[in-house]
Structure formats: structure tokens, C-alpha cells
Structure 1
């Protein structure tokens, strides 16, 4: 990033419709190291991408949307060096796999009907954690539908679950409106819920001809960028400049840099 071009390159993100009332006071979230923010943001992207390419593969395989009516959700699980998306059905009140789709390097493999649809105890807990988070969303709701990502919590035996505001039809980038949950190991209890922004915030995508374009966002619920900033930067192939706690950070993919001194020298 060239210092001389920073001010000219940053495009101010455009917020969604004005709120009728003043936004509530921000609630500080659990702070993570930048290393963890980076790693989790990249993992969120990998799992979210796996879910949507697997969904496309399943719809193409079935060629009949009505046949997916029995799908009650999905989980993404590690499968060696690949990921496996398990589309679930309700089998007498117990989730079971109806279809499996392997995903490697962002590409979906052939749709498989598992010979043994039974979920392991860990897979059942993973799906339960997803449902527990959905049932406990907070006051901020920026979309009718939300995407979900469930990961092992590297700091405990529980789960980390994200409820992610998807991109609207306009193509705007949903920088705000995401949640992070810590869920118990059995998937049934919320240990902590963090709302990763104070309001809904959709950023207009920079024009294609804009060189070295970036989006600027002020983060008020944490002192650093959060993992959804990394996720969105990777997803949109775009650098975000985050101001948090009077410091400036650039988020370019999984690389996060404190650029406060560089900005203040201008």
C-alpha cells in the first residue's frame, strides 16, 4: 500500500437506510489477538464457500428443488485436507445426513448419498450448536436470512458459531450485522454472544475501474478489526481500512497491519 495514495484510495462506505432512532450504546465484545482474528476469518471464508458451492452442486444434481424440501440444514466437517458438507434431514427427531458433498480447494465434488447417514456425536453437537445460535440471535437483524458457520473453538472444547448477514441483491457488502457465539461442547447452551457491529452497515462496492480502492469503516465495539472483516476482505478481494480505538488497520485478506503511524504521518 503506497502512503501517498491512501487518502485518495479510501472510499467511504455507504450505510443502509437511516435508522429512525438513535443506535443504542455499543456493547464491547470479547477481544482476540490479531493472529486469531486472521485465522478465524480465513476459516469462516473456507467453510462459507464450501457451503454455497456444495449447495449449487446439490441443486444441479437433483434438478428438482422440491426434492430438497426435506433438507433441515447442513454442517461442514473436516475430511482430511478437504471439507465435507453434510445436508441433513430430520429422521424421527434425530438429524441424519441425506446428502454429502466433498469440497476441495473451493470446488465441489460429486454428490453422494451416504450408506450410513448416522451423524457422530460430534456432528450432532455441531448441528445443535448451529441451531442454538440461531435461536438466540440478538436485537440486531439485518437480513431475513442469515448464513451460518460453525468451527471448533481453539480455546476450549466448545464451538464458535457465526450468524452472517448475506450480501443483498444490490451487491452491497454487509460489513455490519454479524454475530459470534461461544457454544457449549454439547451444542445446547450459549456461553457468550457477541454482536460484531452496533448497527446494520452495507458498503457500496467500489467501481471496477477504481485502482487500489479500499473501504473505510469505523469499528466501535472492539479495539481491533474482527474476523468478519478478514472474511469479507477475502470474499470480495478488497482491502478494508478499519479505524478502531483511535488506531487504523488495513485488512488485506488474512493479513492485518496496524497502519496508524503511516496514516498520522500524512
Structure 2
């Protein structure tokens, strides 16, 4: 995952765990969705992450390459077919809109603008609170110095889904392990459930996904679910590489937002 200076600064401010630690016990099974729903959510995660990065680049270009003073983070909200990235100032308890960048459906960032009204609607305050609540509820498995956050409406309830995603600045490394999913209340203040999406840390070299100049994909396994998870879709899209997932004695191919089952050969 690429982090620009500002992206890294805000991630460090909100999402840096106190220390790196190894997993001590097997993680619990997590909620697993249909492959269609998993593909949709993974794609939405990727679009939000890319929008935040593109908007960050636009903001840095305007501010001479340095994060503007007073920045405390950002949120991403849908705007038609695109997304509005809202950079925030104030305090975590009382955030205010500081700068806006609209990223269109083709993930192109527009101009940096001042918000017409710095007062955030209640749902946007709750969205930022949900992000912060997750960041303060880190689990035992910490696989990266910095984590990125993605916040989506929970499609099955009134609250939020928040992901803390292990991040790297190394272009060829894919952080396959160490990600978390959170279910957060509608007001953004209470973590109702934390789900650890892997059993261990695992950084994979994207260069190993090619053979003879052709892209063949990365191979991993899942012990917390019977099929691939949304993070595999996210990572496949982010790194433009197929991911083959072994789960419940079956092999699945994750090719962007498309997930398909592959029959295992007989032993």
C-alpha cells in the first residue's frame, strides 16, 4: 500500500500500535459472506483507499509537499458515482471539515476546495469516531508499524464496518496478514466486535507472482473462514495480482473483485 507523506502522518497519528507483537493463540472464526458480497465489499475498500491516497497527493501538491497545520485525519464519503475525501481539523471529539477533494468514478482527484460549511453532519462525525474507536481497540496481532483505515456503512445493520489494514511503503511487498475488521455502533463510539482476519503476519514478495514474465499470482491460506475474505479482494486490486487462497481444503482464485472456486486435485 502506497503512503504519501500526509497519508503516513495521519496514519501514524491515529493508527500506530504501541508495539509489534506475535500472535499468542489461534484466532476465532470470523463472519464470512457470499463470494459476491465479499467481492463488492473488497472493491469498495479498495476504491476508498485509492481515493484517500489520490486526494492526499492533491492536498500535498497544494501545500508544498507538507501536511497542513492542524490536520487530524480524514473521512471518505460517497458523492454520486465518486467520493469526497474530507480532511479534518479541530479535535477527535469535535472534528470540522478543513479541505475537500472530490475523486471521480475513474479515481481521478479534482481540485482542493474549502468546504462551504465546516460543521460536519452527524453521520460524518460518527464515521470519524468509528475510525478512532477501532484504532483504540487494537488486537494482539500487529504486523506493521502503521495501519490504514477504511470505513464503510455496515450493509447488514445501522452501524459501521471499519478495517485496520497492515501497511507497507515497500513497493513489491504485499502485507497478506495482520488485518482487522471491526463492527462499530451507529454513533461510532462503541466497538461491538473485533475480528482478526489472519492467524499470523505474512509479507509476500509480489515479484514471486510472476513466472517467465507472466503473472501467475500469490498463494496464501485462511484459517479463520471457509472461503476468501474481503481483504484478499482488496489486496488483489491494490497490487494488480491474482491471489490463490486455500481455505477449508478448497482452493479459490481471487482476481480483483471476482472470486471463483477451483477444484483441488486428488491426492
> Cα RMSD between the aligned structures?
2.0
The structural deviation recorded for 1:206 is 2.3
Asked whether the 8 Å contact 1:206–1:213 carries over to 2, the reply is no
Q: Aligned pair in 2 of structure 1 residues 64, 31: CA closer, same or farther (>3 Å)?
A: closer
Q: Aligned partners of 2:132 and 2:92: how far apart in 1?
A: 17
> Which shows bigger deviation, 28-37 or 203-212?
203-212
Distance in 2 between residues matched to 1:217 and 1:264, nearest whole Å: 17
Q: 1:87: which partner in 2?
A: 87
Unmatched runs of 5 consecutive residues or more in structure 1: 1-18
Q: Does residue 197 of structure 1 match 2:198?
A: yes
In structure 2, list runs of 5 or more residues that go unmatched: 1-19
With the length of structure 2 as denominator, give the TM-score of the two structures: 0.87
Tell me if structure 2 keeps the 8 A contact 1:171–1:205: yes
More displaced 10-residue stretch of structure 1: 188-197 or 200-209: 200-209
Q: 1:216 aligns with which of 207, 214, 219?
A: 219
Per-residue deviation, 1:191: 1.1
**What is the CA–CA distance in structure 2 between the aligned matches of 1:91 and 1:24, rounded to whole Å?**
37
Alpha-carbon displacement from aligned partner over 1:196-251 (angstroms, at most 9, x marks no partner): 00111000112565313111101111110000000111111111110001011000
1:23 offset after TM fit, Å? 5.2
- Cα distance, 1:167 vs. partner? 2.6
Over 4 Å off, 4+ runs:
19-23
> Could you state the TM-score of these two structures normalised by the residue count of structure 1?
0.87
SS of residue in 2 equivalent to 1:71:
coil
Alignment match, 1:232: 235
Measure, in 1, the Cα distance between the counterparts of 2:22 and 2:132. Answer: 31
Report the alpha carbon displacement of residue 90 of structure 1 after superposing the two structures with TM: 0.9
CA deviation map 1:62-87 (0-9, x unaligned) = 1151x523110100001111100000
Matches within 5 A, 1:54-203: 54-65=55-66, 68-90=68-90, 93-104=93-104, 105-169=106-170, 171-203=172-204
Residue 160 (structure 1) shift: 0.4
Cα distance in structure 2, aligned partners of 1:21 and 1:93: 32
Indicate the structure (1 or 2) with the bigger Cα radius of gyration: 1
Determine the C-alpha separation between the residues in 1 that align with 2:121 and 2:201. 37
Deviation at 1:135, TM superposition (A): 0.5
